[in-house]
Every structure is written in structure tokens, then in C-alpha cells.
Structure 1
Amino acid sequence: MTHIKTDILVIGAGSGGLSVAAGAVQMGADVTLLEGHKMGGDCLNYGCVPSKALLAAGHAAHAMTTGADMGITPVTPKVDYAAAKDHVAGVIAQIEPVDSQERFEGLGVRVIRAFGAFTGPNTVQAGDHTITARRIVIATGSRPFVPPIPGLDTVPYLTNETLFDSREKPGHLLIIGGGPIGMEMAQAHRRLGCDVTVIEGAKALGKDDPELAAIVLDSLRDEGIAIEEEAQAAEMRGKVGAIEVQTKDGRVFKGSHLLIAVGRKSNTDSLNLDAAGIETTKTGIKVDARMRTTNRRVFAIGDVAGGLQFTHVAGYHAGLIIRQALFGLPAKQKTAHIPWATYTDPELAQVGLTEVQARKEHGIYSEVVRFEYHHNDRAIATRQTKGLIKVMVYKGRPVGASIVGHQAGELITLWSLAIANNLKMSAVAGMVAPYPTISEINKRAAGAYFSPRLFDNPTVKRVVGLVQKWLP
């Protein structure tokens, strides 16, 4: 048995854990990192990276079926599904070295490939190692939540952890769950030649602005994806190639393969948190605004903390931990400036308050400005005019932005910057965007806020008239 003393112990080598380990060791701390599974965690191996790679393959196939309005004759692509999955594996392999054990050991991190469990307030057992740490960071992430649907235990099903390894092309993919993961994989598979049915117990993309979500859903339906809402799965039956899902209202959906995409569950089961005095909630580990658990020596970040479950949030949390654990400075998390995006085509992105939330929080003092893609010259030139932006404004400052359309995930970052730095709408209106670009949409949205104040204002017109009389 080996006993290790360290400044910072990081449990979990996903996005958040790796960011803490890399930052801390390069600033002079003694860092130990535990990972019992794959380096890079869910994002690299089962989530963000492979899903976007598969979406790219679907986009390439879909592009061959369009272009008639630009003088390009559409053709039916010949899709090699297994080769598309090889592309996904190749993308993962190209990124893997950045998250590898070798790289982190090269930085000076002590990497132990074992799962950890607490044996005391500041001690963790991992394989043959007992580790005592001044500060501990739990970054164990989450895994797919598999609902207790009758019959599911007898039916073969996929989750995001098994989907990308499969080389067998589904004839008809049934997807349980109409959230971002479900809708992204629905479009990717439809464009790769599969029939797809999405079965959602409530509203598909229900956490996003309903007006903007409807634009995405209409686009997916136009591509031939069946999206069944208010369809609560009640029973599963069948075998590989012949699976049935029955909903509570008696409808039956038949397909060849089944993907479960109904949410995530925090990875806390094997940590023995009670030994460290760490409390949990229904969604994960209980933390305060500084990401501290009920054991003040232990932090929890990323998915396991039970808040917003995005890779960039875990990275943001990591920065808060570096500030506190290395420099002893307080740092509290904020969520108002945290954006997210669904990478369907068109994309759907959000930061801050939605229109409904802004109306509820700020009442009549909340303003909503809009600008539609079909007024943007670049979107017209590329035939990508489906979409719009809504910016929620309170006292001259943006408090939220919702975007649907081409590059929405890129456009939303400007509004995150504005909200994070408490900028006024005048700051966005004052920027200059190159012409013609999709990014002009952001500037035009800010312009839509000022237009009525300038062009429909009698006082402004009187002042201009007086100035014109006096100018030489």
C-alpha cells in the first residue's frame, strides 16, 4: 500500500478535472489525478466530440441532396455508415493526446488509473494508494440516465456511451427523449439514411424558447423525422431488429434500434461520500456558490455538481477552483452568462433569460428586440435564411438572447460576453462587423433596439431640425 500526500487531488479526468489538474500543476501545486476509466471523460469519448463528428458526416451527406436553387443538381449520397463511425473514431483519436495520461504526466501531474473512494474527510483510497490531500476536487461527471420503463431490461438499447462504437446502421432508429442529444442524433441518423422516430414524453426541446424550438422541429420534420410529443413511454418489447415502444395513450412505435436519451445521472455511487461528510441532492453533490461541498476541503464541479451539464461549464468551474485552491481567493459561480447550444441544422442557442423568463422577472420594463435571418445579406447569399434572434433587454442592457439559425452557437458568444461584463446595448451597436457576415445579425439586433428611439422620436426630429437650421 502506497501513501501519497498531495496539495490537490482531482477525482475524474473529464473536462473539468483535466482543467484543474493542468492549471494547478503549472502554477506549482503538487497534483494527483485519479481516473478509473477513459481519460477525457464523457465529452471526448461519448459526448460532445463524437456527436459533432457524426453530425458533420450527416451534414456532408445532406449537402449532396441540396443546391438546386444554386444551379447544383442534387444527388442521392451513398452512405457507408460504418465508415462514418470510423470518421468519428478518427476525430476522437486526433484529440486524445491532448487529454492523455502521457501529456499530464509530462506536465508533472501524478496520474493514477483507478477509481477513488473516500475513507475520511481528506483521504481517498484508489487501488493500492491511500491519498491525503489539502484540497480535493470531485469531477466525476455523469452518465446516461436509464428510466425504469417496463420491459426495457429485456430489450437491447443504445445510449450515448454505446452508440458511437456501433457500426451497424439502424434501419429505423427509435429515440426516447426529445432533448438536445435526442434531436442531434435524430438528424445525424436521418441524414445518414436511417428512418427516425423521436418519442418525447412532454415537449421536444422543451427547455428552449418555444418559438425558436418550433423552427428547429419543423425543419427536422421536413427532413422526414417523426417527432411524437406528449408520448410517455410505458412499455418496451422486442429484440434486435424488431423493437416496439408503447406509450401511455396506447400508441405503438416500431423500429429496428433503440436509443435512450432522456437525461443524465451524476456519478456519485462509488465515492463513499458519507465517509467525508459530503451531502448529495436529487441531481448531484450539494455545493454552495463557491462549488464547495458540505466538507469545506472538498469541491465538486461539472455535471456531478448537479447544475448545468455542459463541458464549458465544467471548464468555467475549474477556473473558480484554481482561484480558491491555489490562491485562497473567494470565487463564486454565476450562471447568467452561461450559453448553450443544440447543434441541429438550424442550430439553437441560448444565454441568460428567455423571453418568458424576462417578462416574469422584469415585467413591463423588459423589452424584446428581434431580427430575422432573411434580412441578412450573407444568409441570403448562402440560402440559409431560416432563423431569428431575440434579445431580452432591461434598462438598456441585455439580460438574455435566444438564437435559431445558421451558426447560432457562434453568434451567442457575443451576448455571453455582454452579459458577463454588464455591457449596454450601445456597446454591441457600436461594434463594426465585416460585411457580409452572419455576425451582422447581432449588430442589427442591437440596432433594432435603438431604431424606434431614434427614428420614431419626435424630440429627436425637432433637435435635428434646429441643428440643420444653425449649421453653416
Structure 2
Amino acid sequence: MQTIKTDLLVIGAGSGGLSVAAGAAQMGADVTLLEAGEMGGDCLNYGCVPSKALLAAAKAAHAQAEAARYGIADVAPQVDYDAVMAHVHGVIDQIAPVDSQERFEGLGVRVIRETGRFKDMDTVIAGDHEITARRIVVATGSSPFVPPIPGLETVPYLTNESLWELRDRPEHLLIIGGGPIGLEMAQAHRRLGCKVTVIEAAKALSKDDPEAAALVLERLRAEGVDIIEGQGAKAVRGSAGAIEVETDGHIYRGTHILVAVGRRANIAALDLPRAGVETTKTGIKVDDRLRTTNSKVFAIGDVTGGLQFTHVAGYQAGIVIQQALFAKPTRQSMSHIPWATYTDPELAQVGLTEAQARDTHGDTLEVVRFDYHHNDRAIAERRDTGWIKAMVVKGRPVGVTIVGAQAGDIAATWSLILANRMKMSQVSAMVAPYPVVAEVTKRVAGAYFSPRLFDNEWVKRVVRTVQRWVP
């Protein structure tokens, strides 16, 4: 058994773990990184990167099929699904060196490709290594949750991890789960020529603003995606190429089935009780400083059971670095965290939804909106379906919902606004280059001030007085 003593031990080489390891090593700490699977974790290999690459291919196919609105003849796209997947893996390969073992060893990180399990409060066993660390960061991420649906284990089902192994286009893809992953993959495969049926036990996109979600669902249905809500899968049966999903009184048939009902924290192999680390139903228990019940151990990213986004793990990595390296007590805040669903139209949220804001702020809340069909760039590109809605309390935005073109990009600006507790007066002072879709941010701020300026009799009296008496 090889004994290693290190300043910082990071368990998991996904986005959060890699951010901690790179930052700490470059600032002079002795860092050891454990990863038994693929460097880059779920985001690079199975999640964000391949899914967005597939969406890009689907967008290209859809552009051919919907070109007439620009005066160009529609063309039925000739989709080579194997070539599409080659494109997806090419994107992964292009990004992979940034997350590679070689790069991190070049930064001074000791990389061990083994699974880690706790021996005691500050010691982890990984293969034939016994590692003792001053601080430990658990960043093991999550895996697809596969529900106990009778018969599911007997059919060749797909998850976001195995989907990318397909080389032949599914004729009819059944998707269990109407969340962001399920609907992104539904629209992508429909645009690539597949029949698609989404089966959701409750409401599709149930965590998002209902009005915004309805706009997305309307578009998907218009494109031919069959979205079934309020019907849970009761049983699955069949074989490759002929699969059935039974709900209450209905049977849906397809050739392939994708399970996209959520994710589960990767904690089973860690032997956490030996380290005195408590867990919850969704993952590792942490406080607002991301400390576990063992003061030497932090946890970040999906494994904490909170918001499961790559950018959240990266944000939390910075919080942990400040504490582990500089002993600076730093707390996370979720009030400015954005998230987006990359369907067409996109749907993004920063801060509170309208329903959450009403529950929190009551009558002090003002809701203002601006529609995309008044944005010149959106009109020019025939992408003017959508709107932005800001929730404002005493002149300060507490949340924004965006549904429409580039919603995810626009949400980044609003994360900055909320993180710095800016007022709508400051937002209105921005100047956007004309014409851009992102101008909707300034225009929704204008919508907040318009009634105060144009419907205000006192303002009108002041203007008339100035015009009458000031030379």
C-alpha cells in the first residue's frame, strides 16, 4: 500500500472537481485527484457537450426543412445518423484535452485513476493508495436514475450515458420523462427524422414558469413531438425494435426507449459513514459553506442533491477553494444562479419565478414583461416568438424568466444583475448594439419605468412648466 499525504484530495474529475483541482494546484497547493471513470465526468462525455452537439445537428436539419420563410425552398434533410453521432463524438474529442489527465498532471496535480472510499475522517483508500489529506472535496456527481418500472430491466433501454452509442437512427423513440433532458432529446430526434413520444407522469417542464413551459411545449407539439402528460409508465415490455410502454389504460409503441426521469447522487462507493459524513434522500448533507458533517470534508455539484448544473458545480468550486486554501469562510448564494433548457425556443430562469416571488414578496411585487415580437433582430431572423418577464421588488429585480431565442445567453446578463443586487435604473442604463436580441433586457427595464414616466400626471406637469418658463 502506497501512502500519500496531500493538502487537498479531490474525489471526482467532473466539472466541479476539475475546477477545484486546477485552481488549487496553480495556487501552490499539493493536490491529489481521484477518478475511476472518464476525465471530464458526465458533462463532457454524456451530458452537456454531446447533447448540445446533437441539438446543433438537429438545428441544421430543421433549417433546411423550414427555409421557405426566408425565400429559400424547403428541402427534406438527408440525415445520416451515424455521421451525426460522429460529429457529436468529434466535439467531445476536441474538448477532451482540456479535461485530460495529461493536462492536469502538467498543472502539478497527482492524478490517480481509481475509485475512492473513506477509511476514516481524513483518509481515503484508492486502489493500492492510502491518501491522507488536510481537506477533502467530494465531487462524484450523479448518474441517471432508472425507476423501478416493471419490465424495464428486460428491454434494451437507453439513458443519457448510453444514447451516444447509437449509430442507427431510431424509427420511433419513446422517452420516459418530460424534463429538460427528455424534451431536448425529443426535439432533436424529431428534427433528425424520428417519431418521438414523450411520456410524463405529471406536467412536462414542471419546475419552470408554467406560461413559459407552455410556449415550449406548443412548439414541440407543432413540430410533431407527441407529449403525453399525466400518465405514468406502469409497465414496459418487448425487445429491441419493438418496445411497449403501458400507462393507465394506454399502450405506446416504439422502437427505442430513453429513460430521462432524473438523476441520483454517486455516493454508494464512498463508504461515507466511516468519515462521519451524513447524507439525505438526495445526496450528501452540506451547509451553506458546502461543508459536510465532517469539517475536513466538502461536497460540491450534483452529489449534494441541489441544483444539478455544470455551472453550479463550477461556482461551488470557487467557494470551496477560498475556504480550503485561504481559510476564508465563504457562503454560497443561489439567488443569482441561472438555468436553461436548450429547446427551440430556449427557456431560461434566473432567481425567483413569478409564483415564487409572489409567495415571498406578496403585494410588493411588480411583474413587467417585453415581447420578442417587438425586437427588431428577432423579427429579422423570424425568431420573434417569446418574451422576457422580470419580477421586481422596490425597484430591484429578484427574478427573470426568458423564453425565446438566445434565452440562455441573455440569462447570463441577468445573473450578473442579480448577483450584484443592481436596480432596474442601472439595467435601463445599459446600451446594447443595434440590432441584437439581447436588447430585450434593456427593453424590459424600460417597461418597468414607462408607466412611471408616461402615465404620471406629475411628470407631465413638470414638463409643461419647464417648457413654458425655461428659455
With the shorter chain as reference, the TM-score category is over 0.9
User: Take 1:24 and 1:69, find their aligned partners in 2: how far apart are those partners?
Assistant: 52
What TM-score comes out, normalization by structure 1 length? 0.99
User: Take 1:335 and 1:453, find their aligned partners in 2: how far apart are those partners?
Assistant: 31
Q: Residue 430 of structure 1 aligns with which residue?
A: 429
Q: Residue 150 of structure 1 aligns with which residue?
A: 150
Conserved in 2, the CA contact under 8 Å of 1:196 and 1:225? yes
Q: Residue 375 of structure 2 aligns with which residue?
A: 376
Q: Residue 462 of structure 1 aligns with which residue?
A: 461
For each residue in 1:126-167, what CA deviation from the matched residue of structure 2 results, as whole angstroms up to 9, or x when unmatched?
A: 001000000000000000000001111111100000001211
Give secondary structure in 2 for the equivalent of 1:19: helix
* Residue 314 of structure 1, CA deviation: 0.2
Q: Residue 165 of structure 1 aligns with which residue?
A: 165
Gaps of 5+ in 2: none
User: Take 2:8 and 2:208, find their aligned partners in 1: how far apart are those partners?
Assistant: 38
User: Take 2:416 and 2:235, find their aligned partners in 1: how far apart are those partners?
Assistant: 46
Q: Residue 217 of structure 2 aligns with which residue?
A: 217
Residues 35-434 of structure 1 mapped to structure 2, 5 A cutoff: 35-247=35-247, 249-434=248-433
* Residue 69 of structure 1, CA deviation: 2.1
Conserved in 2, the CA contact under 8 Å of 1:123 and 1:132? yes
* Residue 44 of structure 1, CA deviation: 0.1
For each residue in 1:282-333, what CA deviation from the matched residue of structure 2 results, as whole angstroms up to 9, or x when unmatched?
A: 0000000000000000000000011000000000000001100000000101
User: Take 2:69 and 2:403, find their aligned partners in 1: how far apart are those partners?
Assistant: 22
Name the Cα RMSD after superposition.
0.5
Q: Residue 13 of structure 1 aligns with which residue?
A: 13
* Residue 468 of structure 1, CA deviation: 1.2
* Residue 467 of structure 1, CA deviation: 1.2
* Residue 48 of structure 1, CA deviation: 0.1
Conserved in 2, the CA contact under 8 Å of 1:291 and 1:299? yes
Give secondary structure in 2 for the equivalent of 1:401: strand
Give secondary structure in 2 for the equivalent of 1:64: helix
Runs of 4+, deviation exceeding 6 Å: none
* Residue 338 of structure 1, CA deviation: 0.2
For each residue in 1:362-417, what CA deviation from the matched residue of structure 2 results, as whole angstroms up to 9, or x when unmatched?
A: 11110100100000000111100110010000010000000000000001111111
* Residue 67 of structure 1, CA deviation: 2.1
For each residue in 1:84-108, what CA deviation from the matched residue of structure 2 results, as whole angstroms up to 9, or x when unmatched?
A: 0000000000000000000000000
User: Take 2:421 and 2:120, find their aligned partners in 1: how far apart are those partners?
Assistant: 43
Conserved in 2, the CA contact under 8 Å of 1:8 and 1:136? yes
Conserved in 2, the CA contact under 8 Å of 1:351 and 1:401? yes
* Number of residue equivalences: 471
User: Take 2:411 and 2:450, find their aligned partners in 1: how far apart are those partners?
Assistant: 22
- Percent same amino acid at aligned positions? 70
Letter of the 1:234 partner, please give it: K
User: Take 1:56 and 1:403, find their aligned partners in 2: how far apart are those partners?
Assistant: 21
User: Take 1:314 and 1:79, find their aligned partners in 2: how far apart are those partners?
Assistant: 35
User: Take 2:365 and 2:89, find their aligned partners in 1: how far apart are those partners?
Assistant: 47
Give secondary structure in 1 for the equivalent of 2:162: helix
User: Take 2:435 and 2:39, find their aligned partners in 1: how far apart are those partners?
Assistant: 42
Letter of the 1:324 partner, please give it: Q
Conserved in 2, the CA contact under 8 Å of 1:398 and 1:415? no
* Residue 245 of structure 1, CA deviation: 0.3
User: Take 1:339 and 1:30, find their aligned partners in 2: how far apart are those partners?
Assistant: 33
Letter of the 2:186 partner, please give it: A
Q: Which moved more, 1:134-143 or 1:411-420?
A: 411-420
* Residue 236 of structure 1, CA deviation: 0.5
Letter of the 1:106 partner, please give it: G
Letter of the 2:292 partner, please give it: T
User: Take 1:236 and 1:205, find their aligned partners in 2: how far apart are those partners?
Assistant: 23
What TM-score comes out, normalization by structure 2 length? 1.00
User: Take 2:419 and 2:250, find their aligned partners in 1: how far apart are those partners?
Assistant: 46
Give secondary structure in 1 for the equivalent of 2:369: strand
Letter of the 2:241 partner, please give it: G
Conserved in 2, the CA contact under 8 Å of 1:313 and 1:338? yes
For each residue in 1:400-445, what CA deviation from the matched residue of structure 2 results, as whole angstroms up to 9, or x when unmatched?
A: 0000000000011111111100000011100100111101111000
Letter of the 2:336 partner, please give it: H
* Residue 466 of structure 1, CA deviation: 1.1
